[in-house]
Amino acid sequence: MGDYEASKINHDNHLLLDQPLLRLPYELLRKNFRSAHFVIEKDSTQVKATLKEAATASLSGKSSPDDVLKNLDVMLNKMRGLKRKLSACADEEERLYRQLDARTAHLAELNDIHTVDDVRYQPWSRKRLDRLMVDYMLRHGYSDSAEAMSEQKGMQDLVDIETFKSMNRIRKALENGSVAEALAWCQENKKELRKMDSDLEFNLRYQQFIELIRTQDTPRKLEAIAHAKKYLLPYRDTHPDEVSTICGLLAYPPIYNFDSGTGRPNPSKAGIFPLQLGPNYDNNGSLYPLLTVCPPRYTNIYSQTRWQELADSFVAAHNELLSLPSSPLLHIALNAGLSALKTPACHSNVQHSTAAGYNTGNKNTTVCPICSMELNELAKAVPYAHHSKSHVEHDLYVLPNDRVYGKARLLEYAKKNGLPDSLVKDLVTGDVFPWDELKKVFIT
Amino acid sequence: MDTLRREIHSLNKAPKLRSTVQDVDKIIEELEAARAQVAATLDTHTASLTMAKLQNPLNRHFEVMTQDLKNVSKVHKNLGKTLDKAMPVKPLPTDHDVMAEHMDLINRAIAMHLLREGEFSVAETFQNETQDDVTLADVTATQPSTGPDGTEDQIMSEPDGGGPDLMEMSYQSEPVAKRQQSQASHIPPPELKDRFADMYRILESIRHHDLGPAIEWAREHSEELEARGSNFEFDLTKLQYVWLFRGPEVNGLPSDRPNGRLGAYLYGKENFPRFQARHLHEIQQLASAMVFAPNLPDSPYSSLFAVDQSFSEIAASFTREFCSLLGLSAESPLYIATTAGALALPRAIKYASAALAKGTAWTTTDELAFETPLPSNMIYHSIFVCPVSKEQTNEANPPVMIPCGHVLGRETLKKLCKGNRFKCPYCPQDGLFKDARRIVL
């Protein structure tokens, strides 16, 4: 460690964080192709059918020239619509090709860089950090910052602002209790979601059902039953638990102040109990209407946190569909990086003599990135790096106060402080000692 | 990667979806022509004839379109294959994302990174956006049970382990660092922006070879710099002297009294005495160079007077000094951490897959289970690994030095002891346990 070997760039492994950079446009390319394929298939079959019908009708003399004209107009409209959709797809394809080109060019820059000490590596790595930050911002919905940042750095082709913006739009909608946007997205990606065995659509439909019941309004409840028949029953094999609650939900109204522990209504805020079938004594001898002792199973269903769960499962499905890692890349990089850099000294209370730069030693002291305020608190969450070899300064001496420094650094510091040759000064505490009291330290 | 790059580069010539748009255009043309024909006569016979004639060309166009689509699909498939080959999918370790719990800290780190990079407008946008988020979260989730006092203490106590000398100094001199600590943990201190704005202003003037603002700054912080053992102020003064010395031909300043050799002489006379105690030798050299002025390149002083690199060097050391006085590292920690992350990630993935295959898990949480090789400039602390137990020393098991000067982990020494005597594992000497000194590396 710390040798040439460690600073060499292993090209096979160095781009792990950059996989989504190319994967995402590729997945989008495929998605775009699929939608182009879909509209072509749909519209061309229709046009072909209309054409055949119109031709036979007109040959057999069943239709007038006006009818023929009408049919032709229908076909023309269809084809113009198709053209519009296809042009959009073709534009998107061109944009994605341009992105792919820019991105591979960016990644290829690394090909000629063989060590991290190469002067060209730093700008490249900085650019990567910028990308990771934009990715982080986008995933957390800070789109304005992401846009400002990518504009500032001129790297619009290297980041996926639009993709994440539409993702965040749908997520926000879910968090605010609207399923329409997410359902439209499910419709768009139906086949792929089915392949992934995603239950997102079912959960969205189920939520719709819950919301209809929540109103406790009779026509709405009827609508809910129809909704359940249409959208939920087909899932009874894959989601037997949820489907079996459908009827139960009809019986247990949403009384928000059910105590989640006991399942009993909270007497301080008495709700309305529409289904009172008679008094019933429970174990404690207190009086409760029979059906208002709501099993926790049903209270949970009415919980508002379900919206957050839906939003999260949408994000998960979205990321899986586009082969994006489930957490922001910056998290992954920081997780690995912080623990690689962290040492036991970074959070210790002892004032380590080499805390300020053993490596830059002789030149100027610089603060360790983990000790620096920005990351110190964050780094507490990760383990420190494992080392099998000591990394210490050359030629160590111990001062009478038990602190150890490299000889070169001691000499330099004494000289900087204008001390005579016979004295040294502790770099941290500032104590001055005569050289004769120092003792050599052997590190094996 | 090269193949991939070539392939993507040649995509422009490959079949594209655009061609299907052209196919649609042709169909529209045919349809329009047919419509015109039928509309012109409005005759049943012509109508049926046109419709019959339309069948074949239209169907042919549709076939072409399908074929075009197939070609595009082929291109995409090939691209996918090349991509798989150039960049085989390696799943990233995302199972326990510790960072997700510390979003506020990451946000703060990013905001501070943006500030130190001089991206003030982006930083502001980011802070506004994240702050909205925080207030929102505070309203919805009622969880700030750990009061501001608790967090403050925590933060206050911990930088001691870090660059203590610098931190302490910045406490005395720069109120910024101290006030920062008492700030809510997710917001970078507001003063920081002004500090970095200052830094960029000074850097900008250094870039224009104007040392004035930097000298002013160094003089203001003279004491702290000295306490750090930094020669920065003297270096600045020296460069200014050299710069003036080289005269108008080199520095492009107006040739008047305060410029040129005379200017340098006057400047030196005024400023060097303060540094005499510590830098007498260098000052003597700089002054004697006057004698060689007509033939400087051949004189022994030529190297002292080369200014090509000096300004970028002084800019770099200015950044370092400036950040150190704020208790910050000179290079953005976020940058170093992500770069280190990219370097360490392959090992992490390898370990994760191996652990998965064996069905074992690393149980201690303080230390990573595998070594992550980093280049030497990313090692900031001394690391001592006990040569006997091969364990890294830490607070609980500190390094101890035995009388012969060898260093071991304290736990190791305890095990080596027979009674209270031990024998050094590396040399023939022995000693008493009480003679071992705990040392601080």
Decide if B12 is inside a domain.
yes
Decide if B147 is inside a domain.
no
Check CB contact under 8 Å for B395 and A40: no
Q: Within this chain, do residues B42 and B108 fall inside the same structural domain, yes or no?
A: no
The pair of three-digit structure tokens given for residue B239, joined into one six-digit string:
């460069």
Give the domain range for residue A414.
396-440
- The label of the residue with tokens 């160094």 reads B218
Q: Within this chain, do residues B203 and B316 fall inside the same structural domain, yes or no?
A: yes
Please, what is the end-to-end C-alpha distance for chain B in angstroms?
A: 45
Q: List the single residue in A with minimal CA-CA distance to B362.
A: A383
The reply to whether A376 touches chain B by the CB within 8 Å rule is yes
Phi, psi for residue B437 in degrees, rounded to 5: -105, 135
Q: Which candidate, B355, B133, B100, places its Cα nearest to that of A326?
A: B100
Q: Within this chain, do residues B319 and B226 fall inside the same structural domain, yes or no?
A: yes
3-state secondary structure of A423: strand
Q: Is A87 exposed, middle or buried (0-12, 13-18, 19+ CB in 10 A)?
A: middle
3-state secondary structure of A401: coil
Q: Within this chain, do residues A68 and A186 fall inside the same structural domain, yes or no?
A: no
pLDDT more than 90, % of chain A: 30
Q: Would strands B367-371 and A384-386 be described as parallel, antiparallel, or unpaired?
A: parallel
| Cβ partners under 8 Å of residue A195, min gap 6 | none
Q: Within this chain, do residues B180 and B214 fall inside the same structural domain, yes or no?
A: no
Check CB contact under 8 Å for B38 and A69: yes
Q: Within this chain, do residues A77 and A216 fall inside the same structural domain, yes or no?
A: no
Phi, psi for residue A281 in degrees, rounded to 5: -90, 130
C-alpha–C-alpha distance, residues B380 and A340, integer Å: 11
Q: Within this chain, do residues B79 and B201 fall inside the same structural domain, yes or no?
A: no
C-alpha–C-alpha distance, residues B193 and B176, integer Å: 11
Q: Within this chain, do residues A114 and A177 fall inside the same structural domain, yes or no?
A: no
Q: Within this chain, do residues A42 and A95 fall inside the same structural domain, yes or no?
A: yes
Decide if A54 is inside a domain.
yes
Decide if A127 is inside a domain.
no
pLDDT digits (tens, 9 = 90+) for B45-95: 888 888 888 888 888 999 999 999 999 999 999 999 999 988 888 888 776
C-alpha–C-alpha distance, residues B161 and B325, integer Å: 17
The reply to whether B424 touches chain A by the CB within 8 Å rule is no
Question: Residues 236..275 of B with a Cβ closer than 8 Å to A: which?
Answer: none
Pinpoint the alpha helices (H) of B302-368: 310-325, 333-358
Check CB contact under 8 Å for B89 and A61: no
Q: List the single residue in B with minimal CA-CA distance to A340.
A: B372
Kindly report the pTM of this predicted structure: 0.81
pLDDT of the residue at A360: 37
Q: How many domains does chain B have?
A: 4
pLDDT digits (tens, 9 = 90+) for A67-77: 888 888 999 99
Decide if B353 is inside a domain.
no
pLDDT of the residue at A414: 83
The reply to whether A195 touches chain B by the CB within 8 Å rule is no
The reply to whether B12 touches chain A by the CB within 8 Å rule is yes
Check CB contact under 8 Å for B27 and A403: no
C-alpha–C-alpha distance, residues A304 and B207, integer Å: 58
Smallest Cα distance from A419 to chain B, Å: 9
Q: Which candidate, A335, A325, A121, A3, places its Cα nearest to that of B338?
A: A335
Mean pLDDT across the stretch A174-190? 91
Residues linked to residue A115 through DSSP beta bridges, in sequence order:
A8
Mean pLDDT across the stretch A125-152? 92
Give the domain range for residue B418.
379-438
3-state secondary structure of B418: strand
The reply to whether A184 touches chain B by the CB within 8 Å rule is no
Smallest Cα distance from B351 to chain A, Å: 12
Decide if A299 is inside a domain.
yes
Q: Would strands A396-398 and A404-406 be described as parallel, antiparallel, or unpaired?
A: antiparallel
A118 Cα distance to chain centroid: 32
Q: Within this chain, do residues B181 and B220 fall inside the same structural domain, yes or no?
A: no
Decide if A405 is inside a domain.
yes
The reply to whether B103 touches chain A by the CB within 8 Å rule is yes
- R_g of chain A computed on alpha carbons: 34
Q: Would strands B437-438 and B399-401 be described as parallel, antiparallel, or unpaired?
A: antiparallel
Decide if A287 is inside a domain.
no
pLDDT of the residue at B265: 84
C-alpha–C-alpha distance, residues A391 and B375, integer Å: 12
At A270, the pLDDT band (50, 70, 90 cuts) reads very low
3-state secondary structure of A326: coil
Q: Within this chain, do residues A307 and A180 fall inside the same structural domain, yes or no?
A: yes
Domain end, chosen from B150, B165, B185, is at B185
Chain A hits for B342, CB-CB cut-off 8 Å, are 14, 16-17, 125, 128, 333, 336-337
pLDDT of the residue at B151: 37
Neighbours of B314 (CB within 10 A): 19
Choose the closest CB to B341 out of A86, A333, A343.
A333
Check CB contact under 8 Å for A444 and B406: yes
Q: Would you say residue A133 has pLDDT above 90? A: yes
Decide if B362 is inside a domain.
no
Say what the ipTM of the complex is.
0.81
Neighbours of A288 (CB within 10 A): 17
pLDDT of the residue at A350: 61
Chain B hits for A418, CB-CB cut-off 8 Å, are 277-278
Neighbours of B29 (CB within 10 A): 13
Domain end, chosen from A56, A89, A118, is at A118
C-alpha–C-alpha distance, residues B65 and B17, integer Å: 10
The pair of three-digit structure tokens given for residue A310, joined into one six-digit string:
């839906």
| Cβ partners under 8 Å of residue B298, min gap 6 | none
Q: Would you say residue A364 has pLDDT above 70? A: no
Q: Within this chain, do residues A59 and A207 fall inside the same structural domain, yes or no?
A: no
Neighbours of A174 (CB within 10 A): 25
Choose the closest CB to B336 out of A330, A341, A418.
A341
Q: Within this chain, do residues B290 and B321 fall inside the same structural domain, yes or no?
A: yes
Domain end, chosen from A103, A118, A133, is at A118
Listed range (A8-12, A294-298, A315-319) with the worst mean pLDDT: A294-298
Q: Within this chain, do residues B126 and B9 fall inside the same structural domain, yes or no?
A: no
At A138, the pLDDT band (50, 70, 90 cuts) reads very high
Q: Within this chain, do residues A98 and A185 fall inside the same structural domain, yes or no?
A: no
Q: Which candidate, A390, A428, A391, places its Cα nearest to that of A409?
A: A428
**Measured at the alpha carbon of residue B206, what is the angle toward residues A413 and B122, in degrees to the nearest 5?**
105
Q: Which candidate, B234, B287, B295, places its Cα nearest to that of B264?
A: B287
Smallest Cα distance from A404 to chain B, Å: 5
Neighbours of B410 (CB within 10 A): 17
Using alpha carbons, list the distances in angstroms from residue A289 to A251, A266, A270, A275: 14, 13, 12, 9
Q: Within this chain, do residues A169 and A317 fall inside the same structural domain, yes or no?
A: yes
Check CB contact under 8 Å for A11 and B102: no
Choose the closest CB to A346 out of B162, B393, B406.
B162
Listed as ranges, residues in chain B with pLDDT below 70 are: 95, 133-187, 255-257, 360-365
The reply to whether A339 touches chain B by the CB within 8 Å rule is yes
C-alpha–C-alpha distance, residues A230 and A208, integer Å: 12
Q: Within this chain, do residues B197 and B281 fall inside the same structural domain, yes or no?
A: yes
Decide if B355 is inside a domain.
no
Q: How many domains does chain A have?
A: 3
pLDDT of the residue at A349: 65
pLDDT of the residue at A292: 53
Please give the helix or strand (H or E) that residue A302 lies within, else none.
none
Smallest Cα distance from A150 to chain B, Å: 10
Decide if B363 is inside a domain.
no
Specify the amino acid at residue A124: W
Q: Is B152 exposed, middle or buried (0-12, 13-18, 19+ CB in 10 A)?
A: middle
pLDDT of the residue at A85: 93
Q: Within this chain, do residues A106 and A171 fall inside the same structural domain, yes or no?
A: no
